[in-house]
């Protein structure tokens, strides 16, 4: 994957930076599925996180941080 810019280090920014669909499974859908699997949450919950309707709990944030290699404080900045 390309290098990640500062703007892409938020959870939503990381998602938005993924390429558009060019293969059988859209990269953004694959990302949602991956995060849902890692956190043991539904894809609907992950999409709520992406939209900002909900925020993942501390355990889910830690799992996402480990999976993406980006600190949770950057993925989910305090408003």
- pLDDT, tens digit, for every residue of 6-17? 566 788 988 888
Asked if 62 contacts 51 with a C-beta cutoff of 8 angstroms, the reply is: no
- Tokens 């990302």 found at: 31
Give the predicted TM-score (pTM) of the model.
0.71
**What CA–CA distance (Å, rounded) separates 11 from 51?**
10
5 pLDDT higher than 90: no
Three-class secondary structure of residue 3 per DSSP:
coil
Residue 5: other Cβ atoms inside 10 A: 9
- pLDDT, tens digit, for every residue of 31-74? 999 999 999 999 999 999 999 999 999 999 999 999 999 999 99
pLDDT attached to residue 14: 87
Please report the domains of the chain, with CATH numbers, ordered by start residue: 7-75 (1.10.260.40)
pLDDT attached to residue 40: 98
Asked if 31 contacts 15 with a C-beta cutoff of 8 angstroms, the reply is: yes
């Amino acid at each position: 994957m390309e290098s990640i810019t500062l703007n892409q280090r938020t959870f939503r920014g990381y998602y938005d930076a993924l390429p558009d669909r060019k293969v059988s499974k859209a990269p953004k859908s694959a990302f949602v599925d991956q995060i849902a699997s890692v956190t043991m949450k539904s894809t609907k919950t992950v999409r709520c996180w992406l939209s900002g309707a909900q925020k993942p709990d501390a355990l889910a944030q830690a799992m996402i941080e480990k999976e993406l290699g980006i600190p949770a404080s950057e993925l989910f900045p305090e408003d």
